[in-house]
Amino acid sequence: MNNSVGIVSAQRATFDTPLIFRSGAVLPRYELVYETYGTLNADKSNAILVCHALSGHHHVAGVYADAPGNVGWWDTMIGPGKPVDTDKFFVIGVNNLGGCHGSTGPSSFDPQTGKPYGASFPVITVEDWVESQARLADRLGIKQFAAVMGGSLGGMQAMQWSLSYPERVRHVLAIATAPHLTAENIAFNDVARNAILTDPDFHGGNFYQHGVVPTRGLRLARMLGHITYLSDDAMADKFGRSLRAGKLGYSYDIEFEIESYLRYQGDKFAAYFDANTYLLMTKALDYFDPARACDGNLDKAFAAARADFLVLSFTSDWRFSPERSREIVNTLLHNRRNVSYAEISSEHGHDSFLMPHEHYFDLMRAYLDKIAKEFSA
């Protein structure tokens, strides 16, 4: 693996200053797990923060010594000589607060009660995440990121960084994202949430004490989500109307390959992901709307931004369509920010942002190489 960051290990940072959420809730103490790749330069100007989407986490690149098959979720993008070149940049992946991969979240023990937070974990917003990430940046001595980047919900965090901390981010790479979700998008999230909330094993979010997991709900939520992350064409190409048994069975068992695939994806996800985290993540997506505080005026919301932007969308992405990226671009134009925008031809739907694609990677490499010249010059 000559272009992998190689063996990595997660680190943990504890924060004892209470974090006040947008909702008014207070978390007196929290932990974030994170990984870093590459070397922070002397003036700490080469750091990139990678923000994850709904089901992501801090393991962005490389592998673990004890789990060589567990490759980071954006390993194709990040590593020595890759578009996000770890020979030039110091890259940070962090598990978001409320997550289920080691950072404090609903499945963590609440020191005040000695039980998992469960339903008592506060509903979290993108702004809250940025706040928690800023404290991690402080801890690492990073005053200003060379870039904050992410796709989907990760792109929302990257944009929010430029609004919450305009002076702390030089570039925002906002990929397959939107300035807010549409009603249709919220509707998909609500169906997913309902699948979990109505699962008898959910127990109002406190299922940990009952020794059960709302697997059925989580699995349905994932199956629905997964459909919306693909495209009609991609599904037709991959599965078509193929039957597993080669013939109709006249039953409700798994017959079509697409059914098999979705159930597999649902089962796999439900086996490791926390149902409360899923609820929190979809809620953060629904709530993100920087224009809301400015009477619906997105231009006003972005007036604070000082970063340069790269905005990327994918033609077949109907969950975060190119039109939504154009809204971001137009707002940046109205605010006279430096911005470049590309609409990438890809058939893989919303998931395109996670896939290796020559033109996509060329764009990322070109943009990031320009950023690297800013601090190596």
Partner 1 sequence: MSAHDPIELAAARPDFAAIAAWIPEGASVLDLGCGDGSLLRYLKETCKVRGYGVEISDANIVACIKNGVNVIQGDLDSGLSGFESNAFDFVLLSQTLQATRHTEPLVREMLRVGREAIVSFPNFGHWKARLHVLRGHMPVSDELPYQWYDTPNVHLCTLHDFEKFCTDLSLQILDRRVMTGGSEIHLLPNLLGSMAVYRFKRAG
Residues marked as catalytic: 152, 317, 350
**Least Å distance between CB 366 and partner 1?**
4
**Least Å distance between CB 137 and partner 1?**
26
Q: How many helices (H) and strands (E) does the chain have?
A: 10, 14
Strand 78-79, strand 47-51: pairing: unpaired
Residue keyed to tokens 């906002």:
174
**Least Å distance between CB 370 and partner 1?**
6
- Compute the radius of gyration of the chain from its Cα atoms: 21
**Least Å distance between CB 342 and partner 1?**
5
Residues that bind partner 1 (CB under 8 A): 310, 326, 329-330, 333-334, 336, 338-345, 359, 362-363, 366-367, 369-370
**Least Å distance between CB 145 and partner 1?**
19
> Which H or E run includes 135?
helix 126-139
Residue keyed to tokens 């919220």:
186
Closest to partner 1 by CB, 20 or 333: 333
The C-alpha atoms of residue 312 and residue 83 are separated, in whole angstroms, by 14
Closest to partner 1 by CB, 19 or 329: 329
Closest to partner 1 by CB, 33 or 342: 342
Contacts of 286 (CB under 8 A, 6+ apart): 181, 185, 186, 189
Nearest to 354 by CA among 206, 197, 153, 191: 153
The C-alpha atoms of residue 265 and residue 243 are separated, in whole angstroms, by 18
Closest to partner 1 by CB, 253 or 369: 369
Closest to partner 1 by CB, 53 or 146: 146
Nearest to 152 by CA among 71, 94, 228, 81: 228
Distant-in-sequence contacts of 362-370, Cβ < 8 A, 24+ apart: 363/310, 363/312, 364/77, 364/83, 364/84, 364/173, 364/310, 364/312, 365/83, 365/85, 367/171, 367/173, 367/310, 367/340, 368/83, 368/84, 368/85, 368/88, 368/89, 368/147, 369/85
Handedness of CA 74, 80, 82, 85 (dihedral sign): positive
Closest to partner 1 by CB, 175 or 223: 175
**Least Å distance between CB 326 and partner 1?**
6
Nearest to 46 by CA among 88, 102, 96: 88
